[in-house]
């Protein structure tokens, strides 16, 4: 696992021109970059499937996390998130607005490098059922919600092996032990954790050595809420044009107003102040990512 210490959001580290090729253990390699002390990989949905396949075939264990504006804000607030990103094996982009922001600092990711789990999970379910027989375990959502979403996925993908457990349990003590035992008994190839920030990151940090799963997706948020229909999903055409945040804000203003109306300004101010301190102009930063992955 990656052990390099992650840094909090800092004005001293804003983005490096040289791509890093980092892997703590043999496995898939992708172009990687440093932003605010956090390693970001240029990963597509197809690459996530390759990571899962590699973990299964080579008896490896990978942690996959993601980065968006909300998580950039969380990196400043929560040490658990900083620690989690430091030990993750792969970090991809989730959040279309982050793509143009990264391009301003010389990290030229493409639209295909933005992965939303509400799109990825149905594709993963089809892949698991039709080709590989992979076992998926989803941990998160309110009682009954994840199972409803799982039932829909099983209906669409006959033979899908998918077990769920709600995310409303005590993360220490007997309830946590029961959850870990259930995961261990199922021995999933893929564990998806969606319990909200920073609870999901903290849980994975504290239990990583005891989690029996090949690939752990640690930041799945409310993915099953969308699939189950509990939360209205943004139309893909609107999301693909960068307005998912507005749709979600209008759908859940009481819960999401701070996330979408306050946190992005904090992140943008940090970016701007870093450039003023470093004396760099946006145009001075050269592209660092090739058009194709190696």
Residue 125 has pLDDT above 50, yes or no: yes
pLDDT of 285: 35
DSSP 42: -
> Average per-residue pLDDT in the chain?
80
Q: Model confidence over 38-80: pLDDT tens digits?
A: 789 999 999 999 999 999 999 999 999 999 888 888 887 888 9
Q: Model confidence over 207-253: pLDDT tens digits?
A: 999 999 999 999 998 899 999 998 877 676 666 666 676 666 677 77
pLDDT of 254: 75
pLDDT of 24: 46
Residue 86 has pLDDT above 50, yes or no: yes
Q: Please count the CA atoms within 13 angstroms of the CA of 211 that sit on its side-chain side.
A: 25
Tell which wins on pLDDT, 150 or 76.
Answer: 150
Cα separation, 95 vs 119, whole angstroms: 12
pLDDT grade for 203, boundaries at 50, 70 and 90: very high
pLDDT of 124: 96
Helix 117-127 vs helix 145-156: angle between axes, to the nearest 10 degrees?
50
pLDDT grade for 276, boundaries at 50, 70 and 90: low
Buried b (16+ CB within 10 A) or exposed e, 46-84: ebbbebbbbbeeeebbbbbbbbbbbbbbbbbebebbbbb
**Of how many residues is the chain composed?**
294
| % residues pLDDT > 90 (the chain) | 50
Give me the mean pLDDT over the 266-273 stretch.
71
Tell me the range of 2-16, 62-76, 95-109 where mean pLDDT is highest: 62-76
pLDDT of 108: 84
Element (H, E) at 41: strand 38-41
| % residues pLDDT > 70 (the chain) | 74
pLDDT of 281: 40
CB 261 within 8 A of CB 95: no
- Nearest CA to 95 out of 80, 73, 126 is that of 73
Tell me the range of 77-81, 203-207, 253-257 where mean pLDDT is highest: 203-207
pLDDT of 256: 63
pLDDT of 92: 95
In sequence order, the 6+-apart residues with CB closer than 8 A to the CB of 83 are 6, 201, 205
Tell me the range of 105-119, 120-134, 184-198 where mean pLDDT is highest: 184-198
Alpha-carbon distances of 33 from 19, 108, 154, 271, rounded to whole Å: 5, 10, 37, 16
Q: What is the pTM of this model?
A: 0.80
pLDDT of 101: 80
């Amino acid at each position: 696992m990656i052990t390099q210490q992650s840094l909090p959001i800092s004005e001293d580290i804003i983005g490096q021109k040289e791509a890093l090729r980092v892997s703590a253990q043999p496995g898939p390699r992708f172009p990687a970059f440093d932003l605010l002390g956090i390693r970001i990989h240029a990963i597509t949905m197809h690459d996530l499937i390759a990571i899962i396949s590699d973990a299964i075939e080579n008896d490896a264990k990978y942690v996959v996390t993601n980065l968006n504006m909300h998580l950039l804000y969380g990196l400043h607030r929560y040490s658990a998130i900083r620690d989690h990103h430091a030990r993750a094996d792969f970090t991809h982009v989730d959040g279309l607005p982050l793509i143009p922001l990264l391009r301003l600092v010389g990290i030229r990711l493409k639209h295909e490098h933005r992965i939303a789990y509400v799109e990825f999970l149905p594709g993963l379910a089809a892949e698991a059922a039709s080709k590989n027989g992979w076992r998926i375990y989803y941990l998160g959502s309110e009682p009954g919600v994840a199972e409803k979403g799982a039932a829909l996925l099983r209906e669409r993908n006959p033979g899908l092996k998918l077990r769920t457990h709600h995310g409303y349990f005590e993360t220490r003590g007997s309830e946590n032990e029961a959850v870990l035992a259930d995961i261990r008994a199922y021995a999933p190839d893929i564990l998806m954790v969606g319990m909200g920030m920073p609870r999901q990151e903290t849980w994975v940090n504290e239990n990583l050595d005891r989690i029996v799963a090949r690939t752990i997706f640690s930041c799945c948020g409310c993915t099953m809420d969308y699939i189950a229909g509990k939360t209205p999903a943004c139309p893909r055409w609107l999301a693909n044009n960068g307005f998912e945040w507005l749709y979600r804000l209008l759908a859940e203003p009481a819960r999401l107003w701070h996330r979408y109306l306050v946190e992005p300004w904090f992140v943008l101010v940090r970016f701007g102040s870093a450039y003023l301190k470093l004396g760099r102009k946006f145009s001075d930063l050269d592209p660092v990512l090739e058009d194709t992955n190696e």
